Structure 1
Amino acid sequence: MSPINVARIAHIVLFVKDPEASARWYAEILNMKITARAGDGPYKGGVFLSFGMSDHDIALFPAAADTAIGKEAKGREFEHIGLAMAGCDMEDLRANYAFFRERGVEIAEILDHGVSVGIYFYDPDGHMLEVFCQNVPLEGGASQAELNRNEGQANPITL
């Protein structure tokens, strides 16, 4: 039996031509709040947005110059889909990691975001997904404040 216990789809990360322009659109059209802007590092130029409770519901990352955007880019238009784990701690993540390894699931990386720790992996078609444990409570804006404080940075870790 699988130890994976997903509570909900938590966020999606999209590649866009201009993260700042897209963030303005999401804020104006969908009433989203910008919770953080990524500083230096692998997410540089990224913008994180929330509908209110989560540290981010949608993140917008700059598309590589050779990445097509639009209908012709099917399968390359998003970076990953985040799946929040129910009742999760580091031991649960270790069990998930072992489960993935036993079944030959390709692991991309394991990152500590400060607000959460996630295992990034690929489905059979090459789409990246993340299962993660939320470390900082969503209630009261704590996770938004932490994501903003650390500028959306993530540190690779091992399980």
Structure 2
Amino acid sequence: MSPINVDRIAHIVLFVRDPEASAQWYCDVLNMKITARAGDGPYKGGVFMSFGESDHDIALFKAEEGATKGKEFEHVGLMLKSTSMEDLRANYAFFNERGVEIAEILDHGVSVGIYFYDPDGHMLEVFCQRVPQAGGLSQAELNRNQGQADPTSL
């Protein structure tokens, strides 16, 4: 058995064109707070952000000039604390009010997610977990439905 026992994704670091502008977007759209700014050194100008308890959940570092960004990964999934579809609909309405570019809404059986883009083209997902993760229930359902992802509306 492997000694690795990952509990969750602790943080992600994104290269962005303008860390301060992107940080403001993450504050406005995802209700994050800035916890620190990088001083001197290779990450000078970087911004560290949190959803609440963590020292940082997302860090934003300045990309090199001319770098193609937004395609380093497929997407980052952000589980909402609430399991209410009404809360997910409220998130959707909020995104629309803010002019957030929505890619799609998918029903995975275990969850329903809104996929959207940040100002640098990184795709993110906020999702409502519908099948409990405890006791392996969500893993069993995802296996049963073979990871289906059907387009849906809210």
Q: Same fold (TM over 0.5)?
A: yes
| Residue aligning to 1:146 | 141
Contact kept? 2:69, 2:121, Cα under 8 Å: no
| Residue aligning to 1:84 | 79
- Structure 1 stretches of 5 or more lacking a match? 1-26, 33-50, 58-71
1:113 pairs with 2:108:
yes
Tell me which of 87, 93, 98 is aligned to 1:103: 98
Contact kept? 2:70, 2:123, Cα under 8 Å: no
Question: How big is the shift at 1:120?
Answer: 0.3
Match of 1:79, SS state, is coil
Identity of aligned residues (%): 71
What letter is aligned with 1:128?
A: M
Q: Distance in 2 between matches of 1:121 and 1:148?
A: 26
Match of 1:97, SS state, is helix
Q: Distance in 2 between matches of 1:88 and 1:139?
A: 14
1:137 pairs with 2:132:
yes
- Structure 2 stretches of 5 or more lacking a match? 10-66
What letter is aligned with 1:102?
A: E
Q: Distance in 2 between matches of 1:74 and 1:110?
A: 23
Question: How big is the shift at 1:73?
Answer: 7.2
Higher strand share: 1
Kindly report the root-mean-square deviation, in angstroms, between the aligned alpha carbons of the 2 structures.
2.5
Structure 2 counterparts to residues 5-24 of structure 1, below 5 A: none
Question: How big is the shift at 1:77?
Answer: 2.3
Cα deviation, 1:61-93, whole Å, max 9, x if unaligned, reads xxxxxxxxxxx8764221000001012311111
| Greater than 6 Å deviation, 4+ residue runs | none
Q: Distance in 1 between matches of 2:138 and 2:114?
A: 19
- Answer 1 or 2: higher relative contact order, Cα 8 Å, separation at least 6: 1
Taking structure 1 as the reference length, the TM-score comes to 0.54
What letter is aligned with 1:124?
A: P
Match of 1:153, SS state, is coil
